[in-house]
Structure 1
Amino acid sequence: MNKVKSVCIIDDDKIFIYTLKHLLGKMDFCEDFILYHNGLEAVKGLTARMENQDQVPDIILLDLNMPIMDGWEFLKEVSSNSELKKIKTFIVTSSIDPEDFKRTKDHSNVEGYITKPLNSKKLKEVFNHL
């Protein structure tokens, strides 16, 4: 299992974020978390990090259904930024719609599609994939 420096969580569900941070910490997957509650906040925050030459995350765990800017809109924005689209992204969603899964194939930076609820087994699969 591979360990990374930082994981970016983009999700509007505070309980999910708390649970995910707890799981990631318990399993010692990463050193740091970067949190955003919608896609727009994430685009702005990650772009600012790059411009300031701060560390960008090693991976992004992205929810699809969020207010203001959803996961699909985030992926579209990221696809126009050559640096941001290099970040490996995993969709983490409650959607079991086969069309959502198919749409991820249109985004080269999407490495996987994981359905909620998350557990340690699903997280191990993510980090073994790196």
Structure 2
Amino acid sequence: MPKLSCIILVDDDSTTNYLNHSLLLRLEAADRLLTATNGQHALDLLHQHQPTTAAPDTLILLDVQMPVMDGYSFVETYAQLPASRHSIIVVTLTTPLPSHNITRLKQHNVAGFVHKPLTTEKVHQLLKTYFSHLEPDC
């Protein structure tokens, strides 16, 4: 399993953030794990940690429904940043989204969708799908 430079968890639910953070820490999935409680908080973290999070091996796990700045507004704003080409955004869902919302998110470089809760298997699959190029050649 590749180890990423950074994973950013963006979710307003503190229990979800705690559980996802604990899982990713146990899996040693990234050198740095950042947690944000809304889209604006995530943008602020990205600005503060720009040298680290601009790496091509950054995964952003994003909830859609949050206060202050929701996931839709986050991806629209993030898509305009230079670092946006270097990250993979995967939206975490509790319920399926209508197709027009999926289209709206995919227009702004959202790579995929995964249903909550995160599990070891889901994390492995995400890393395999989006970051297999980081695996050392055997």
- CA offsets, 1:106-128, max 9 Å, x none? 122x2210011221111111111
Consecutive aligned runs of 4 or more in structure 1 exceeding 4 Å deviation: none
Shift of 1:85: 4.0
Q: Tell me the SS of whatever aligns to 2:40.
A: helix
Q: Supply the distance in 2 between the matched residues of 1:27 and 1:10 (Cα, whole angstroms).
A: 19
Gaps of 5+ in 1: none
Query: Which of 35, 53, 56 in structure 2 is aligned with 1:56?
Result: 53
**Change in CA separation of 1:86 and 1:23 when aligned onto 2, cut-off 3 Å:** same
Shift of 1:25: 1.7
- CA offsets, 1:14-70, max 9 Å, x none? 1111111111122221122111110011112212333xxx31161111110100000
Q: Supply the distance in 2 between the matched residues of 1:47 and 1:61 (Cα, whole angstroms).
A: 17
Identity of aligned residues (%): 25
Supply the RMSD in Å over aligned alpha carbons: 1.6
The answer to whether 1:20 aligns with 2:17 is no
Taking structure 1 as the reference length, what is the TM-score of the superposition? 0.87
1:43 alignment counterpart: 43
2:31 alignment counterpart: 31
Amino acid at match of 2:14: K
Amino acid at match of 2:46: L
1:106 alignment counterpart: 107
Amino acid at match of 1:104: L
Count of aligned positions: 126
**Change in CA separation of 1:117 and 1:21 when aligned onto 2, cut-off 3 Å:** same
Shift of 1:101: 3.0
Q: Pick the structure with more helix per residue.
A: 2
Shift of 1:82: 2.1
Taking structure 2 as the reference length, what is the TM-score of the superposition? 0.82
Contact 1:64 1:93 in 2 (8 A): yes
